[in-house]
């Protein structure tokens, strides 16, 4: 059970939103919003680490990530790392029988996500920060409304117990409002349609032309850099453009004048 409740802790949950290839995982890797002690639900191995390679996209922004495919292995590694008090990144990438398909496969994936969430909740401690990354959340939820699952609990109650939840998905309307509304920080990458761009511009109170511009710039400079609009905290506004330089891995804060002139 989560311990040491601290109501003074600020909410720093973060949503990363972009279409396919729009820069979601790059943002998690390089925008430096993820802290020192990290647990990842990584169904698709997006944060695989190879010690032979030097890359900003190796592991978590170049940090070693240790993956585990079964509950016992992950739980043991996570508990040991959490107790050590040192920096760590561990990831749970459960494997499923090839015979599982459709609704049964989705149910199996949800069961593993909820098990992961309960483990995180048991470890949460208001005296310490634990960052939790969940990739492709929209594929694992039942509703875009209220989320009564353990993941919804992490979003609504996790703040006061030191949790910082990072959720990654493609479209805001596909994830529970419980997650979206309790995440004051939002990172917007390239969108795939005008309808999505218009919807998100309203939800973030962002200029629609700026939302369009992200997609245009990221298409034009796809091998060089990625642009984002980042909402740094709750409330209306509080949005600033950022750019990730892919070769150096460096992130640059931009003014809107610089962004629009890019």
- Rounded mean pLDDT, 52-81: 95
Average pLDDT over residues 155-163: 96
Predicted local confidence at residue 142, as pLDDT? 72
pLDDT-derived band at 192, boundaries 50, 70, 90:
confident
Contact 185, 231 (CB under 8 A): yes
pLDDT band at 143 (very low <50, low <70, confident <90, very high): low
More confident residue, 54 or 132: 132
Task: Count the Cβ atoms, other than its own, within 10 Å of residue 86.
Answer: 9
pLDDT exceeds 80 at position 198: yes
DSSP-derived secondary structure letter, 98? T
Predicted local distance difference test score (pLDDT) of residue 36: 97
Using DSSP's 3-state secondary structure scheme, residue 37 falls into strand
**Does residue 40 surpass a pLDDT of 90?**
yes
Q: What is the mean pLDDT of residues 131-146?
A: 83
Q: Are 23 and 244 in contact (CB under 8 A)?
A: yes
Tell me which DSSP letter residue 58 carries: S
Q: Taking a C-beta distance cutoff of 8 angstroms, is the pair 165, 206 a contact?
A: no
4-32 pLDDT, tens digit per residue, is: 999 999 999 999 999 887 889 999 999 99
Check pLDDT > 70 for residue 153. Answer: yes
pTM across the whole model: 0.95
Task: Pick one of 3.40.1440.10, 2.40.170.20, 3.40.190.10, 3.40.50.300 as the CATH number of 14-192.
Answer: 3.40.50.300
148 vs 161, which has greater pLDDT? 161
Residue 99: pLDDT above 70?
A: yes
pLDDT at 173 over 90: no
Q: What pLDDT sits at residue 19?
A: 86
- What is the model's pLDDT at position 51? 82
125-140 mean pLDDT: 93
Write out pLDDT tens, residues 237-246: 789 999 999 9
- Looking at residue 172, its pLDDT comes to 78
C-alpha of 45 from chain center? 14
Mean pLDDT of the chain: 93
pLDDT of residue 144 exceeding 70: no
Residues 216/228, Cβ–Cβ less than 8 Å: no
pLDDT at 164 over 90: yes
Q: Phi and psi dihedrals of 231, rounded to 5?
A: -95, 115
Every domain of the chain and the residues it spans: 14-192
- Residue pair 7/162 in contact (Cβ under 8 Å)? The answer is no
**Average pLDDT of the segment spanning 131-158:** 86
| β-pair type (88-92, 130-134) | unpaired
Number of Cβ within a 10 Å radius of residue 107: 10
């Amino acid at each position: 059970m989560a311990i040491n409740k601290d109501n003074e802790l600020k909410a720093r949950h973060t949503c990363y939103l972009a279409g396919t290839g729009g820069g979601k995982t790059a943002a998690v890797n390089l925008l430096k919003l993820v802290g020192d002690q990290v647990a990842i639900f990584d169904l698709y191995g997006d944060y695989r680490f190879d010690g032979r390679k030097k890359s900003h996209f190796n592991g978590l922004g170049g940090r070693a990530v240790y993956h585990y495919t079964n509950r016992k292995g992950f739980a043991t590694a996570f508990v040991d790392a959490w107790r050590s008090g040192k920096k760590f990144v561990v990831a749970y990438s459960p494997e499923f029988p090839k015979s599982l398909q459709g609704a049964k496969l989705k149910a199996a994936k949800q069961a593993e996500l909820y098990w992961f969430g309960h483990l995180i909740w048991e470890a949460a401690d208001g005296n310490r920060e634990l960052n939790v990354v969940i990739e492709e959340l929209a594929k694992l939820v039942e509703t875009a409304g209220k989320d009564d699952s353990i993941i919804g609990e992490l979003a609504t109650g996790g703040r006061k117990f030191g949790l910082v939840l990072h959720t990654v998905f493609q479209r805001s309307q596909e994830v529970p409002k419980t997650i979206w509304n309790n995440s004051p920080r939002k990172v917007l990458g390239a969108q795939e349609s005008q309808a999505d761009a218009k919807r998100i511009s309203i939800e973030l109170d962002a200029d629609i032309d700026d939302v369009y511009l992200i997609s245009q710039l990221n298409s034009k400079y796809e091998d060089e850099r990625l642009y984002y609009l980042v909402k740094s905290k709750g409330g209306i506004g509080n949005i600033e453009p950022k750019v990730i330089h892919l070769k150096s891995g460096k992130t640059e804060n931009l003014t809107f004048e610089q962004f629009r002139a890019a």
